[in-house]
């Protein structure tokens, strides 16, 4: 046997042994081995994220020249705002020309859909349907991953109690319990069976933290709150996301009690990485690192980079602070290589988990992209959750559902024929806008022989009344009028705070004009936030809050209008009577002078010019049928901490339509130090009941449901009386009784 054959066999054997050894190496071992090969400059490059060329989702900081060249030099670890197999492949090919061929991470705001747009997250939250919410994220991930995206900057899990804040549309509303369940559902949806699967994208819990508590509801504004409020209200959804295995966190633009989140070590290191044991990585939010100069927290990007990396911020989105300053900070001994290695290690770990080192192009399959995008089952799922997100606010004289034997329906309003608007904010332009179903198109498909009349009536914000006469005229010709009113989709979202959240323009005057026709009127309200519309609420017989429902908006609205789907959604956020009531939320403290009712203003905590109660309460939503709650029973009326109490009650459908009810469980700790809210959501069940059908619903009380944080931030319980309240809304309690915690 010649030497050449022997040496070939030896090389094959040796390389297969090496390969086997490598593949059998654990990810931590691979990360350590790679770190040892990397120069400091290459390590810093992994901490640097640039915006792609697709579009900017924030103010462009400074030009960095040719990004592909920077990638080839190993100066970039991730690119955001880039979609599509073809486009991402070009950037990945550049990364494969770098010395160590470390693959790029492609990140994108896949917030509520990718090709098929789903309802905005706040709308989906109104469904209280965790399976549907998870499925929505699952489909978004499947489509995004087919388009070359590795990482979505979602779910946004910020608790929001202020509807002036435009980003209320992006989260799950005001409640920590509901918000935590939804955070879990969305992380599971996006990450599916785990990173590395070709239909999974890495999720990102954002914005860490308390961004939704911006003073005045003004985006990016300061946040000032007690640590107990932080732990009780704003952290739970983030903890739920971490427990659900979310791959990354994104910090937030706001300062929290004077420390910008991007440099907040208490949040990013003490809580997230140490107490919660989070192993993923933290990315800053669009330039937030550099914005600490504006905050007045640092004097330049050099100090910003130092503060951020030492606080636990791993990746720098778009501020260029790390790429331009970390090497000098290491030379100046302001930042240790150990800290940099820790950050780089977290990022490389995720790239290994996504399988990008074994095949950097594994998400770049053009055939899969074509096969997966806008698949029929995705469209069907979008319609399903859209129907489940529509809240029935009012339905006097059972005006709804509509009969299919009506002669004519007048469709009036600026949003009747709108299509792209149905996507709302944070929607991508990947899908074909022709696929979006407007209300008009949905009604055309559902109305059968009923004649549809149309008039726009007015614009969304314009003050012209020129279209009123035409609207009144066609209303007079119709059996029923359906009005599609609301905001523009760009009136709620990032940097879209409104000081006045009334229905914009002259829309409410148009509603009055049409009501003067004497015809039955149904108003559909489309917005990304709670709006104020008191005259409409008080005078129009039927009102549906439809948010922004995405691609299948028109079909979902038609299904609900005709009763093909009986609405069951419940508000995930309180609707104020006016801006003057804000902040207003259901889980408030009682105060020393609680108003006993809306008229009790005699030395009570009340307004003398407005009832204290909201226009619509958290958890409120009607059905075409009715439900009876009865027969509340407890397994026992006192418990030790180590025990539980099982409560049961009967829920009956007392109407004539099959329907779902979201039965809500609230608890109140009657005497505690510190004090506790007048009620807190601790459970719910969404139950389908046929007409006349009764089901027994149970709910188990354990000590975790009774626990709270004391001023030392210890999670404790205190013995004493608790009140259980079961209801159809936070202000519609049907059954209640007390029980005792005895130790
Ligand atoms: C934006 C948003 C953030 C988003 C990021 C990237 O400013 O605050 O939610 O993920 O930039 O687009």
Q: Which residue's alpha carbon is nearest to atom 11 within ligand 1?
A: 286
How far, in Å, from the CA of 207 to the mean position of ligand 1? Answer: 9
What is the pLDDT at residue 42?
98
The CATH class for the domain spanning 383-579 reads alpha beta
- Residue 115 burial (CB count, 10 A): 25
What is the pLDDT at residue 116?
97
What is the crossing angle of helices 130-146 and 176-191, to 10°? 40
Q: How far apart are CA 270 and CA 256, in angstroms?
A: 15
How far, in Å, from the CA of 393 to the mean position of ligand 1? Answer: 32
What residue ranges in 113-184 does DSSP mark as E strands?
Answer: 151-152
What is the pLDDT at residue 16?
63
Contacts of 730 (CB under 8 A, 6+ apart): 586, 617, 618, 619, 620, 664, 666, 679, 681
Lowest mean pLDDT among 6-10, 400-404, 497-501: 6-10
Structural fold of domain 627-742? Immunoglobulin-like (2.60.40)
Residue 693 has pLDDT above 80, yes or no: yes
Q: How confident is the model at residue 12 (pLDDT cuts 50, 70, 90)?
A: low
Candidate of 53, 109, 261 to mutate for ligand 1, largest count of ligand atoms within 8 Å of Cβ: 109
Query: Are 529 and 501 spatial neighbours (Cβ–Cβ below 8 Å)?
Result: yes
For the CA of 154, the nearest atom of ligand 1: 10
- Three-state SS string over 399-465 comes to CCCCCCCCCEEEEECCCCCCCHHHHCCCCCCCCCHHHCCCHHHHHHHHCCCCEEEEECCCCCCCCCC
Residues having CB within 6 Å of any atom of ligand 1: 57-58, 80, 109, 153, 206, 285-286, 494
Q: Which residue's alpha carbon is nearest to atom 10 within ligand 1?
A: 153
Q: What is the dihedral of CA 204, 209, 210, 211, to 10 degrees?
A: -70
Q: How confident is the model at residue 1 (pLDDT cuts 50, 70, 90)?
A: very low
Q: Which of 60, 113, 117, 105 is nearest to 80 (CA)?
A: 105
Which pLDDT tens digit goes with each residue over 636-685? 999 999 999 999 999 999 999 999 999 999 999 999 999 999 999 999 99
- Residue 171 burial (CB count, 10 A): 28
CA angle, residues 20, 23, 26, in degrees to nearest 5:
130
Q: How confident is the model at residue 171 (pLDDT cuts 50, 70, 90)?
A: very high
Q: Which residue's alpha carbon is nearest to atom 3 within ligand 1?
A: 285
Alpha-carbon radius of gyration of the chain? 28
What is the pLDDT at residue 20?
62
Q: How far apart are CA 50 and CA 336, in angstroms?
A: 24
What is the pLDDT at residue 3?
53
Q: Which residue's alpha carbon is nearest to atom 8 within ligand 1?
A: 285
How far, in Å, from the CA of 476 to the mean position of ligand 1? Answer: 47
Q: How confident is the model at residue 83 (pLDDT cuts 50, 70, 90)?
A: confident
Helix intervals (H) in 480-533: 507-515
For the CA of 156, the nearest atom of ligand 1: 9
Query: Are 312 and 282 spatial neighbours (Cβ–Cβ below 8 Å)?
Result: yes
CA angle, residues 627, 688, 620, in degrees to nearest 5:
50
DSSP letter assigned to residue 284 = -
How far, in Å, from the CA of 310 to the mean position of ligand 1? Answer: 22
- Residue 371 burial (CB count, 10 A): 10
pTM strictly above 0.85: yes
For the CA of 170, the nearest atom of ligand 1: 9
Lowest mean pLDDT among 55-64, 369-378, 439-448, 650-659: 55-64
Query: Are 418 and 458 spatial neighbours (Cβ–Cβ below 8 Å)?
Result: no
Q: How far apart are CA 729 and CA 431, in angstroms?
A: 37
Mean pLDDT of 713-735: 98
Q: Which of 192, 195, 91 is nearest to 148 (CA)?
A: 91
Query: Are 211 and 155 spatial neighbours (Cβ–Cβ below 8 Å)?
Result: no
State both tokens at 178: 């509901």
* CATH 3.20.20.300 residue ranges for the chain: 39-368
Q: Is 277 exposed, middle or buried (0-12, 13-18, 19+ CB in 10 A)?
A: exposed
State both tokens at 101: 């061929």
Q: How far apart are CA 143 and CA 378, in angstroms?
A: 9
* CATH 2.60.40.10 residue ranges for the chain: 627-742
- Three-state SS string over 683-738 comes to EEEEEEECCCCEEEEEEEECHHHHCEECCCCCEECCCEEEEEEEEEECCEEEEEEE
Cite the active site residues: 285
For the CA of 109, the nearest atom of ligand 1: 10
Which pLDDT tens digit goes with each residue over 709-722? 999 999 999 999 99
SS3 state at 111:
coil
Mean pLDDT of 308-333: 98
For the CA of 58, the nearest atom of ligand 1: 7
Which pLDDT tens digit goes with each residue over 585-596? 999 999 999 999
How far, in Å, from the CA of 349 to the mean position of ligand 1? Answer: 23
Considering the chain, what is the average pLDDT of its residues? Answer: 96
Residue 5 has pLDDT above 70, yes or no: no
Strand partners, 664: 684, 727
How far, in Å, from the CA of 81 to the mean position of ligand 1? Answer: 10
Candidate of 202, 211, 282, 285 to mutate for ligand 1, largest count of ligand atoms within 8 Å of Cβ: 285
State both tokens at 35: 């770190």
Element (H, E) at 543: strand 542-545
* CATH 3.40.50.1700 residue ranges for the chain: 383-579
Mean pLDDT of 609-638: 98
Q: How far apart are CA 496 and CA 30, in angstroms?
A: 45
The CATH class for the domain spanning 39-368 reads alpha beta
What is the crossing angle of helices 337-353 and 301-311, to 10°? 70
What is the pLDDT at residue 57?
79
Contacts of 87 (CB under 8 A, 6+ apart): 52, 54, 148
Query: Are 108 and 83 spatial neighbours (Cβ–Cβ below 8 Å)?
Result: yes
DSSP string covering 650-690, please? EEEE-SSS-EEEEEEEEEEESS-SS---S-EEEEEEEEEE-
- Classify strands 521-526 and 451-455 as parallel, antiparallel or unpaired: unpaired
How far, in Å, from the CA of 49 to the mean position of ligand 1? Answer: 13
Candidate of 50, 52, 53, 57 to mutate for ligand 1, largest count of ligand atoms within 8 Å of Cβ: 57
Mean pLDDT of 342-360: 98
What is the pLDDT at residue 21?
62
């Amino acid at each position: 046997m010649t030497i050449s054959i022997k040496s070939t066999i030896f090389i094959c054997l040796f390389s297969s042994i090496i390969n086997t050894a490598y593949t059998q190496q654990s990810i931590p071992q691979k990360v350590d081995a790679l770190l040892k090969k990397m120069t400091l400059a290459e390590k810093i490059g992994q901490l640097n994220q640039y915006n792609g060329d697709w579009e900017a989702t924030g103010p462009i900081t400074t030009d960095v020249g040719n990004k592909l060249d920077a990638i080839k030099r190993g100066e970039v670890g991730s690119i955001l705002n880039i979609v599509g197999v073809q486009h991402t492949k070009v950037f990945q090919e550049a990364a494969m020309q770098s010395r160590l061929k470390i693959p790029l991470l492609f990140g994108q705001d896949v917030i509520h859909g990718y090709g098929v747009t789903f309802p905005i997250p706040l709308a989906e939250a109104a469904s209280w349907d965790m399976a549907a919410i998870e499925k929505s994220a699952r489909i978004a991930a499947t489509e995004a991953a087919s388009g070359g995206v590795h990482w979505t900057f979602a779910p946004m899990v910020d608790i929001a109690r202020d509807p002036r804040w435009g980003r209320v549309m992006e989260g799950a509303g005001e409640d920590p319990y509901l918000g935590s369940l939804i955070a879990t559902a969305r992380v599971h949806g996006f990450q599916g069976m785990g990173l590395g699967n070709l239909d999974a994208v890495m999720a990102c819990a954002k914005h860490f933290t308390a961004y939704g508590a911006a003073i005045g509801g003004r985006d990016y504004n300061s946040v000032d709150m007690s640590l107990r409020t932080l732990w009780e209200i704003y952290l739970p959804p983030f903890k739920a996301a971490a427990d659900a295995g979310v791959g990354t966190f994104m910090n937030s633009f706001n300062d929290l009690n004077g420390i910008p989140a991007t440099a907040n070590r208490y949040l990013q290191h003490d809580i997230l990485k140490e107490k919660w044991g989070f192993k993923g990585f933290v990315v800053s939010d669009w330039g937030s690192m550099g914005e600490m100069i504006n905050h007045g927290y640092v004097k330049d990007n050099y100090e910003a980079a130092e503060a951020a990396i030492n606080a636990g911020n791993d990746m720098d989105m778009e501020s260029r602070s790390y790429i331009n300053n970390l090497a000098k900070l290491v030379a100046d001994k302001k930042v240790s290589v150990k800290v940099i290695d820790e950050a780089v290690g977290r990022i490389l770990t995720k790239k290994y988990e996504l399988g990008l080192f074994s095949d950097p192009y594994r998400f770049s399959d053009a055939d899969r992209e074509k096969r997966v995008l806008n698949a029929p089952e995705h469209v069907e799922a979008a319609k399903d959750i859209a129907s489940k997100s529509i809240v029935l606010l009012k339905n006097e004289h059972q005006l709804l559902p509509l009969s299919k034997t009506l002669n004519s329906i007048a469709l009036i309003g600026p949003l009747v024929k709108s299509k792209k608007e149905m996507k709302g904010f944070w929607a991508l332009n990947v899908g074909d806008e022709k696929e979006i179903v407007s209300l008009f198109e949905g009604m055309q498909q559902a109305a059968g022989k009923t004649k549809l009349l149309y008039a726009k009536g007015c614009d969304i914000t314009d003050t012209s009344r020129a279209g009123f006469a035409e609207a009144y005229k066609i209303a007079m010709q119709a059996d029923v009028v359906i009005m599609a009113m609301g905001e523009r989709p760009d009136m709620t979202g990032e940097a879209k705070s409104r000081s006045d959240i009334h229905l914009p323009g002259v829309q409410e005057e148009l509603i009055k004009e049409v009501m003067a026709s004497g015809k039955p009127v149904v108003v559909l309200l489309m917005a990304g936030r709670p709006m104020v519309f008191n005259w409409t609420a008080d005078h129009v017989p039927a009102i549906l809050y439809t948010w922004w429902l995405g691609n299948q908006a028109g079909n979902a609205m038609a299904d609900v209008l005709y009763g093909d789907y009986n609405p069951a959604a419940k508000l995930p956020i309180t609707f104020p009577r006016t801006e003057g009531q804000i902040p207003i939320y259901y889980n408030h403290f009682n105060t020393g002078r609680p108003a006993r009712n809306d008229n009790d203003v005699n030395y009570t905590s009340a307004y003398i010019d407005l009832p204290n109660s909201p226009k619509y309460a958290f958890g409120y939503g009607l059905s075409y049928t009715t439900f009876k709650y009865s027969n509340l029973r407890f397994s026992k009326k006192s418990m030790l901490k180590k025990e539980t109490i099982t409560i049961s009650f009967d829920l009956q459908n007392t109407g004539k339509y099959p329907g779902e009810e979201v039965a809500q469980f609230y608890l109140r700790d009657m005497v505690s130090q510190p004090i506790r809210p007048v009620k807190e959501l601790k459970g719910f069940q969404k139950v389908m009941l046929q007409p006349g059908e009764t089901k027994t619903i149970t709910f188990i009380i354990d000590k975790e449901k009774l626990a709270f944080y004391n001023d030392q931030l210890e999670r404790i319980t205190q013995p004493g009386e608790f009140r259980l309240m079961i209801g159809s809304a936070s202000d519609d309690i049907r059954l209640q009784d007390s029980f005792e915690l005895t130790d």
